[in-house]
Structure 1
Amino acid sequence: MGLNGKYSVGILLTFVLLGIMMLYVFPVISMITGVKTVTGNTFSLSRIALWAVLLITFLYSLFIEKGSFLLKIEKKYSIAFSIKAVIVLYLACVFGGAILNGLIQFLIHKEDGSKILQFTTLFKNDYFLIIFTCFTAGAVEELLMRGYIQPRIEKIYNSPLAGILVSAALFGILHSTYGTIGQVVVPFFIGVVFAMFYKKYSNIKILIVCHFMIDFVTLMAMNFIDFKHLSVF
Structure 2
Amino acid sequence: MSLYGKYALGILFTFVLLAAAMLYALPLIYLITGTKGITSVNFFYTRIVLWIVLFFVFLYNFFVEKNPFLLWKEKKYTVSFYTRSVIRLYFTCLIGTSVIGIIIQLLIQEGMSSKMVQISSAFKNNYLLMIFICLTAGVVEELLMRGYIQPRIERIYNNQYCGIFISALLFGILHSTYGTIGQVVVPFFIGTVFAMFYKQYSNIKILIICHFMYDFVAVMIMNLIDTKHLSVL
The alignment's TM-score, normalised by the length of structure 1, stands at 0.97
After superposition, the CA RMSD in angstroms is 1.1
Change (3 A) 1:231 1:86: farther
Moved more, 102-111 or 206-215: 102-111
Offset of residue 125 of structure 1: 0.4
* Structure 1 residue ranges without an equivalent (≥5): none
Rounded to whole Å, the distance in 1 between the matches of 2:5 and 2:210 is 32
Rounded to whole Å, the distance in 2 between the matches of 1:104 and 1:226 is 22
Corresponding position of 1:196: 196
Partner amino acid, structure 2, of 1:12 = L
Partner amino acid, structure 2, of 1:144 = L
Corresponding position of 1:171: 171
| 8 A Cα contact 2:125 2:223, kept in partner | yes
Q: Does 2:138 align with 1:142?
A: no
| 8 A Cα contact 1:112 1:179, kept in partner | no
| 8 A Cα contact 1:98 1:232, kept in partner | no
Deviations 1:121-152, CA, capped at 9 Å, x for gaps: 01110000000000000000000000000000
Q: Percent identity?
A: 62
Partner amino acid, structure 1, of 2:35 = V
| 8 A Cα contact 2:112 2:231, kept in partner | no
Corresponding position of 1:39: 39
Q: Does 2:113 align with 1:113?
A: yes
Corresponding position of 2:151: 151
| Mapping for residues 39-78 of structure 1, pairs under 5 Å | 39-78=39-78
Partner amino acid, structure 2, of 1:32 = I
Corresponding position of 2:225: 225
Deviations 1:58-93, CA, capped at 9 Å, x for gaps: 110111001111000000100000010000000000
Extract structure 1 runs of 4+ deviating beyond 2 A. Answer: 226-233
The alignment's TM-score, normalised by the length of structure 2, stands at 0.97
Partner amino acid, structure 2, of 1:131 = I
Rounded to whole Å, the distance in 2 between the matches of 1:158 and 1:45 is 38
Offset of residue 114 of structure 1: 1.2
